[in-house]
Amino acid sequence: MRLTEEEKQAAVEVTQAILGRLDQGDKGRIIPVLQQVQSKLGYVPQIAMEEVAAHFGVPPVDIYGIITFYNQFRLTPPGKNQVKICMGTACHMRGAHIIQEAWERRLNIKVGETTEDREYSLERVACVGCCTMAPVVVINEEVHGKITPTRVDGLLFSHQLDKRKMKEGDANNG
Amino acid sequence: MGNNNTAVVSAAFEQLKAAAQQKWEQLHSKPLILVGAATCGRAAGALSLLEEVKTELQKLQLDATVLEVGCMGHCYAEPVMVIYNEGFPTICYGYVKEGVGARIVRDYLTEGDPGIEFALAAIEPNDFFPTFQDFPRGVYENKIVMEQCGFIDPRDIDHYLATGGYSALVKALETTPEEIIETVKASGLRGRGGAGFPTGVKWETCRNSAGDQKYVICNADEGDPGAFMDRTILESNPHLLIEGLAIAARAAGAEKGYVYIRAEYPLAVERVALAVQTAKEKGLLGKSILGSDFNFDIELFQGSGAFVCGEETALIASMEGQPGIPRHRPPFPAISGLWGKPTVINNVKSLSYVPYIINRGAEWFRSNGTEKSPGTAIFALAGKVVNTGLAEVPMSTTLRELIFDVGSGIANGKNFKAVQIGGPSGGCLPEEALDTPIDFDSLTKAGAMMGSGGMVVLDENDCMVEIARFFLDFTQKESCGKCTFCRLGTKHMLDILERITKGRGKPEDIDMLMELASKVREGSLCNLGKTAPNPVLSTLKYFREEYEAHINEGRCPSLMCKDLIAYYILPDKCERSCDACVGSCPVEAIYDNEDRIKVINQEKCVKCDSCMVACPPQYKAVIKVSPPYKVAEMEQERGKK
Ligand SMILES: Cc1cc2nc3c(=O)[nH]c(=O)nc-3n(C[C@H](O)[C@H](O)[C@H](O)COP(=O)(O)O)c2cc1C
Ligand code: SF4
Ligand code: SF4
Ligand code: FES
Ligand code: FES
């Protein structure tokens, strides 16, 4: 993925602000810094990795190694809404793969992809700790339990309605 | 007693406690409503219940307090609400759906009508309504760690203080580290993170290791994909863990502690962070705690979603800013851990027992459970059991009691098939193993593992080959890749299992799986690899015939493996005009035949299960068959008629 000059600039600024005056020898801060970059930008761009590497005085390839080792990190920007399907034991035994396929069909993307309009991305997560509500889907930070393929449609529908309402609200206020 | 000033410490603590108790009494001087709002309560609508209750109180102009609390363990009945009403029994309500919450509050608080039809049980004994102890579940349950969960506000340190919190830390400040270690050793507490190592011994090793700089770490990485005990404790009573960690630090000689917590648990992260901050504000963490010579500070570290980082040496590597790859032990972390310094690593539950052991004594702890596994076991009951949720029972309770009495048996009138214990390192135990007592050694002997406490109950519709494949898929993806056998051996096993679930298994596959399993077990450095074959071995041991049905007949006896089943509509049962299935099908695979009976176009069908769910229960016309070619047979049969 190629970033525009402005995007690059923004990524560098965000990363530098996080790095601030952190002790350069404190390697224990590397992962927390990368987590913060991701929470600000939604992913960790190459240029941010280089920034972090320079700050802590380690080769960029080490940072890349960390990013690819841990499932949490993304190398590409996610959709505006992140749909995460729980793939833990309880959810699996209650048909999580059927739910996954339902989302894939409805959004017309595969797990790990983002829709063309960048509205939705689809991911799998390990148990989110609501096994008693299996199968579970997390949309952004909100947990939805007891999902069926038909509820997938419902969730998507209500989500789009919410967004319309919000837009209308904006228009009314503005 | 070192150079601690007992008088100063207890005076400082008494002051904190008195203020907290005053607040607590005030809280109970008017009606109090608790809403269980841990993650799973929220998923069931706890936050809107909270709003509903608040609005109702405002409408009625009632002076009552509403609090968001954690989880009591009755997750099956979410959302859960408790009402304290002066002069009436305190009642816990379950399944509080929209509209019901407001009604219960109105009836109980204004008319004294407790709304018995929505009640799960009363909290204390009374003349009107049974308590939790009167149900089979209550007979077995024995809450230690979970005692306060769901009854105090996890965000208010005063609730913890008022109910006896931090008094164990005070006691620990008034004795020597050696005495703390003696007590914990005498209690026989074994680590609840999986391995069951004696906690006191670990602390002692760390204390006796050379060097001034030492660390304590709470392992809250809870990576077992079917477990949620640690999450619940963190969300419901975070101070318990903080107090336990502080006592561990005092015993081990550490001034710095970390809570390593899964990033997938945002609510737990938030609550622990807040708890650490408020404990600091009260002088219970930080420099010179309560005026003593003990300094101790806690920081949070968020795990980045790698299961192997739950392994202690991998966890340390990730805290040092490296990929989470385990290293050889010894040296054990208690001798050389974080940054090469002596480090105690304990699971959330292990640490949560500590304040109780310090307060009530080693003998008391030993009065629960067995000689070799004292105390309680905390299980996350999930899967096809009626009462899913958390249960804390004494060690030595049998699996049967846990599943059939505490969990009320199998849901939807199905038959029990197996119980998966210990997650990816554990195993599946069948009916005949149900009388195994729960303790570290018996479960291992039976072919499963205590593990961290995940327990998934499986019924007749769950395929044992598929569950083995699922866990192997998990461990294979989570292998850090350091050991060849863990990386490639599990992949090879997974390929075989995938083939079997797709109906392309070969007769020699079973022997091959056994052989690979022993190689992976022997050739792996850490327990991820060493135990990865367990789910396969235990299902092969107890459910070999299911493997054989897949391999020899292309049939999945549980009708679960997608490639081995087909959906079929029974013509005699189809009501014809309801059309529910037609609308539910996402790919328009269902059409009318000449008699308007619905038929599934097998070419188009994506096996999404929707029609089966949609077909009204009075008809139940949609069925699954295996092997799939049976559909053609059945259609032909009908054609002949
Ligand atoms: C692959 C793997 C994953 C583990 N995951 C966890 C975990 O999520 N939580 C935990 O407390 N221990 C986990 N452990 C066990 C830890 O290595 C360690 O034994 C434990 O944290 C020690 O604490 P305890 O003595 O209180 O049980 C795991 C071990 C392995 C091999
Ligand atoms: S056994 Fe597997 S997870 Fe453990 S160190 Fe070896 S490769 Fe890594
Ligand atoms: S839902 Fe069931 S009863 Fe109704 S038309 Fe479909 S198969 Fe027949
Ligand atoms: S398995 Fe899905 S929430 Fe636990
Ligand atoms: S009862 Fe709500 S999280 Fe368990």
Residue B261 near residue B377, CB atoms below 8 Å: no
Secondary structure class of B479 (helix, strand, coil): coil
Q: How far off is chain B from A71, nearest CA to CA, in Å?
A: 5
Indicate the DSSP class of residue B565. Answer: -
- Report the nearest atom of ligand 2 relative to the CA of B311: 4
Regarding whether B327 and B233 lie in a shared domain, the answer is yes
Tell me the per-residue pLDDT of B94-146, one tens digit each, with 9 for 90 and over. 999 888 999 999 999 888 888 888 988 888 888 888 888 888 887 888 899 99
* Domain membership flag for residue A74: no
Apex B11 CA angle, B5 and B12, nearest 5:
90
Q: Is B310 in the pocket of ligand 1 (CB under 6 A)?
A: yes
Regarding whether A91 and A65 lie in a shared domain, the answer is no
Tell me the per-residue pLDDT of B181-227, one tens digit each, with 9 for 90 and over. 999 999 999 999 988 899 999 999 999 999 889 999 999 999 888 78
What pLDDT is recorded for position A75?
87
Per-position b or e across B190-229, b if 16+ CB within 10 A of its CB = bbbbbebeebbbbbbbbbebeeeebbbbbbbbbbbbbbbb
Indicate the DSSP class of residue B132. Answer: G
Regarding whether A89 and A59 lie in a shared domain, the answer is no
- Going along B263-365, which residue ranges are E strands? 297-303, 343-347
**Domain final residue, candidates B345, B365, B385:** B365
Taking each helix axis from N to C end, the angle separating B348-360 and B229-236, rounded to the nearest 10 degrees, works out to: 60
* Domain membership flag for residue B146: no
Reply yes or no on whether the pLDDT at A172 is more than 60.
Answer: no
Residue B36 near residue B66, CB atoms below 8 Å: no
Query: What is the DSSP annotation of chain A?
Result: -PPPHHHHHHHHHHHHHHHTT--TT-GGGHHHHHHHHHHHHSS--HHHHHHHHHHHT--HHHHHHHHHHSTT--SSPPPSEEEEEE-SHHHHHTTHHHHHHHHHHHHT--TT-B-TTSSEEEEEES--S-GGG-S-EEETTEEE-S--HHHHHHHHHHHHHHHHHHHHHHHHH-
Whole domain around residue A145: which residue ranges?
Answer: 81-173
Which among A28, A93, A131 has the least Cβ separation from residue B319?
A: A28
Regarding whether B625 and B479 lie in a shared domain, the answer is no
Whole domain around residue B600: which residue ranges?
Answer: 565-640
Tell me the per-residue pLDDT of A132-167, one tens digit each, with 9 for 90 and over. 888 999 998 888 988 988 888 888 888 776 766 666
Q: Is B261 in the pocket of ligand 1 (CB under 6 A)?
A: no
- B69 phi/psi in degrees, rounded to 5: -120, -175
The number of domains in chain A is 2
Q: Which residues contact B633 (CB under 8 A, 6 or more apart)?
A: none
Regarding whether A121 and A142 lie in a shared domain, the answer is yes
**Domain final residue, candidates B309, B342, B365:** B365
Pocket of ligand 4 (CB under 6 A): A 86, 88-91, 127-131, 134, 136; B 225-226
ipTM, 2 dp: 0.84
Indicate the DSSP class of residue B307. Answer: G
Q: What are the C-alpha distances in Å from B297 to residues B202, B312, B414?
A: 20, 21, 51
* Domain membership flag for residue B243: yes
Ligand 4 centroid to residue B485 C-alpha, Å: 29
Regarding whether A86 and A153 lie in a shared domain, the answer is yes
* Domain membership flag for residue A75: no
Cross-chain Cβ contact B232/A29 below 8 Å: no
Regarding whether B407 and B338 lie in a shared domain, the answer is no
CB atoms within 10 A of CB B277: 12
What is the domain-level CATH number for residue B577?
3.30.70.20
- B371 phi/psi in degrees, rounded to 5: -55, -50
Q: What are the C-alpha distances in Å from A83 to residues A109, A125, A156, B303, B550?
A: 12, 10, 10, 21, 34
Indicate the DSSP class of residue B585. Answer: -
Regarding whether A162 and A124 lie in a shared domain, the answer is yes
Q: Cα(B72)–Cα(A7) distance, rounded to whole angstroms? A: 47
Assigned token pair, B108: 């109980």
Task: Split chain B (641 residues) into runs of 10 and give each run's mean pLDDT.
Answer: 73 95 93 90 89 92 92 88 90 90 90 88 85 83 90 95 96 95 97 92 96 95 87 95 98 97 90 97 95 95 89 94 89 94 96 97 94 92 89 93 92 92 89 92 86 87 93 92 91 95 93 93 91 92 94 94 94 88 89 89 90 91 93 82 62
- Identify any residues that bridge with A24 across adjacent strands, giving them in sequence order: none
Apex B501 CA angle, B499 and B503, nearest 5:
70
- Taking the Cβ of residue B462 and every Cβ of chain A, the question of whether any pair is shorter than 8 Å is answered with yes
Regarding whether B115 and B161 lie in a shared domain, the answer is no
Sheet architecture: strand order including B91-93: B65-69, B32-36, B81-84, B91-93, B119-122
Q: Is B324 in the pocket of ligand 1 (CB under 6 A)?
A: no
The structure's pTM equals: 0.90
Q: Is B473 in the pocket of ligand 3 (CB under 6 A)?
A: no
- Relative to the alpha carbon of B616, which ligand is closest? 3
Best B416, B608, B615 residue to mutate vs chain A (most A CBs within 10 Å)? B608
Place of tokens 């993650």: B39
